[in-house]
Structure 1
């Protein structure tokens, strides 16, 4: 399971073929079954093949992390607020104002059942499993952003594809610098929750 050929085939199936297949119309139950089996396989490889241990790194630089994340969030907040205001101002903070309980529920479900599994797959697994296959670090991060974006094509929304590409770059850099699934998941959750809050949740499958 650790040969270059095996990893190449594994990469093709997990990060190319499966996401593309999810964009095709067929049973949602079958898609969920395939996704669950794939996630179980990834956890198995991480724990028993790569012998990855999910532990909080002892030297996490929380202050630096939050300063950088808040700065990036401020930039994202300005741009996305302007975007929603210019494209459909009725959506601006609509769910936060009119459906606060639903807003809280969405943030909880998204953060724990979407963000964390994504970061295990696209950062923890990807970095642990394929880093040795890339000699160029920039290319390694670029490919990570591409496959992260590809993983969202089932939304069939070009803006989602663009946003997740840039998000993939940010998350890959954060994981490279921190080696922490926890920190990159927090960053991912912060930006994603902001999109739901500002009124862009509809394109991500949640009420706007």
Structure 2
């Protein structure tokens, strides 16, 4: 399971074949089955093959993490607010102002049931399994961002692909620095929740 050939096949199936297939029209139950089986496989590999302990990795500089995240968030908030204001002014903060209960529910469900599994797969698993196969760290991070954007092909939306690629770069850099699934999940949840809050939900396929 640790040979280069095995990992290559594994990478192709998990990060290319299945995500691309999700953009095709076939039974949602089969897609769900792929997702559940894939998650079980990933947890098995992390526990039994990679000896991952699923414990919170100590990170000594929480202050630096929050400062860096705040700076990135402020830039993202400014650019996305400007974007929504220019392209669809009516959508600006529409959900939080008109459907606050739905807004809160979405943020909780998204943060706990969507973000963490994504980071477990695309950062924890991906870095554990494939980082040693690449001599170039920058190339590795770039590929991580590419496959993360591929996971969102089923939205069939070019804006989603662009944003998830950029997000993938940010999250990969954070994980590469902190080695913490918790910290990168916090960052991911903050940015994703903001996009929904600012009014980009309908553009990104979120429930409205």
One fold, TM greater than 0.5? Answer: yes
Per-residue CA deviations over 1:28-86 (Å, capped at 9, x if unaligned) read 11111111100110010001011111111223421111100010000000100011111
Contact 1:149 1:164 in 2 (8 A): yes
User: What SS is found at the alignment partner of 1:202?
Assistant: coil
**8 Å CA contact retained: 2:159, 2:204:** no
Instruction: State the distance in 2 between where 1:70 and 1:176 align.
Output: 19
* Count of aligned pairs: 208
1:89 aligns with 89
Deviation at 1:207, TM superposition (A): 3.0
Instruction: Report the alpha carbon displacement of residue 27 of structure 1 after superposing the two structures with TM.
Output: 1.1
Q: TM-score, normalised by structure 2?
A: 0.98
Contact 1:22/1:154 (8 A) holds in 2: yes
Alpha-carbon RMSD across the aligned residues, in angstroms, is: 0.8
Q: Cα deviation per residue 1:131-173 (whole Å; 9 max; x = unaligned)?
A: 1110100000000000001111110000000000010000000
Moved over 6 A (4+): none
TM-score, normalised via structure 1 length: 0.98
**Distance 1:60-1:204 versus aligned 2 partners, 3 A rule:** farther
Q: CA deviation at 1:203?
A: 3.0
CA distance in 2, matches of 1:42, 1:56: 18
Q: Could you list the runs of 5+ residues in structure 2 that have no partner in the other structure?
A: none
Question: Does residue 197 of structure 2 align to residue 200 of structure 1?
Answer: no
Moved more, 22-31 or 198-207: 198-207
- Match for residue 52 of structure 1? 52
